[in-house]
Structure 1
Amino acid sequence: MKGNRPRLHRRLTTLPWNNARLDTHDRSRGHGRAETRSLKVLILDDDLRSESLNARQAVQVRRWRRPNGKPASIETVHYLTNLPPATAGPDDLARLIRGHWGIEGRLHLVRDVAFNEDHHRARTGNAPQNLAVLRNTAITLHRQNGATGIQPALRAGNRKPERLLDLLPETT
C-alpha cells in the first residue's frame, strides 16, 4: 500500500504495530549487500476491513539493507491481503511477498529496461496489452533458447535479424 491511497495508507501506518509480535525474521547476503527483513501481521477487525478493500490481514515488512561500503537504509512497507489467517500465515505471506519481487525483477524490470516500456506512448484501445504480449513473447523465446541476458539477446537479433527465426518453434 503506497501513497496512491493516502487515507488508507495513513490508517495502515497508524495500526498498533508496536503491540504486534514479530512473526518472521530473515537475514541474507547477496547482490553486494546484507539484508534483514522482519514481518508483522495484524488480523483486521470489521471496521478496518470495510475501509480497506475487504482485506483480512495487514502486513508490515521492515527491510534493513547495507550495501557493501555504503551506509545502511531502513524501509518500512505495508501490504493488505484478503487471505484469511488460516490459509496464509506469516511464513506464507513472507514467501508470497518475496515471490512478488522475484517476478518484478525477472519480468517487469526486464520490460522496463530492455524495452523502455514505461516511456512507451501506446495508451489507447488494445495497443498496450497487445504490445505487452509481444514483449513477453520475445522475452520467453529468448529465455527458452538459453539467453540469460535479454538486452544482449535483443542486440544480437538487431545485428543479424535472421537469428530471430531460430527462436521460433518448429512446426509441421
Structure 2
Amino acid sequence: MTARRYERESGHGRRETRSVRTLTVTDLGLNFPHVAQAAKIHRHRTDLKTGKITHETVYTITDLPARAASPQIIGQLARSQWGIEAVHHVGDTTFSEDASKIRTGHGPESMATLRSFAISTLRTAGHRGIASSLREVSYTPFTRPLNLIGLP
C-alpha cells in the first residue's frame, strides 16, 4: 500500500512544499526485520528574497505500522527532528559544546545541564538572542544571573 501527503507552508522568508510518500514494506514480502514502512520525503523550497529554488529528498524507514504512522505523522516526526537540532545548534555555537574538553565522570552531563539551564533561563526571561543575552548578563553585576531565576 502506498500513501501520500502534501503540505505547503510560508515563513522565515521562504515558501516550502513537502510531500511524504510511504510504502508498507511488510506487504512486499521482503525480509527486513523491524521495518514496517519506508518513506520518501521531498522538500521544495523557494527563497522569497532571492527566488532561489532548492529541492531535497530524504528516505527513511520506520518500525511504525501504517495504522500508527500515516504520511502526515511521518512528516511531523521528520520536522520535529529540526527542533532538536536547533537546540543543539544554540548550545554548540554559543558555548562551543563540541569543543569541550570535559570528558570524565559526570562532568560532561553536568555541564550540558548547566548550559541548557542557562539557555532556558534566558529564554524564559524573554531574551531571544542567547549569545548577546549572555554578554549582557555578564556585564551587569554578578547577581544578575541570580535575579533571572528569582534569587536575591
1:120 shift after superposition: 2.3
Greater strand content: 2
| Structure 2 Cα separation of the partners of residues 31 and 168 of structure 1 | 31
Aligned twin of 1:132: 112
| Structure 2 Cα separation of the partners of residues 71 and 145 of structure 1 | 37
1:123 shift after superposition: 3.6
Q: Which amino acid aligns with 2:144?
A: R
| Structure 2 Cα separation of the partners of residues 49 and 159 of structure 1 | 57
Aligned twin of 1:64: 44
Correspondence list, 1:13-162, <5 A: 20-21=2-3, 23-45=4-26, 47-50=30-33, 54-67=34-47, 68-105=49-86, 107-160=87-140, 161-162=142-143
Sequence identity (%)? 35
1:20 shift after superposition: 4.5
Q: TM-score, normalised by structure 1?
A: 0.74
1:145 shift after superposition: 1.7
Q: Structure 1 unaligned segments of length 5 or more: list them.
A: 1-18
Deviates more, 1:126-135 or 1:30-39: 126-135
Q: TM-score, normalised by structure 2?
A: 0.83
Q: Which amino acid aligns with 1:133?
A: T
Q: Structure 2 unaligned segments of length 5 or more: list them.
A: none
Residue aligned with 1:49, SS: coil
CA contact (8 A) 2:2 2:24 kept: no
The CA deviation string for residues 112-156 of structure 1, in whole angstroms up to 9 with x for no partner, is 221122222334443322221111111111122222221121111
| Structure 1 Cα separation of the partners of residues 31 and 118 of structure 2 | 43
1:81 shift after superposition: 2.0
| Structure 2 Cα separation of the partners of residues 48 and 120 of structure 1 | 43
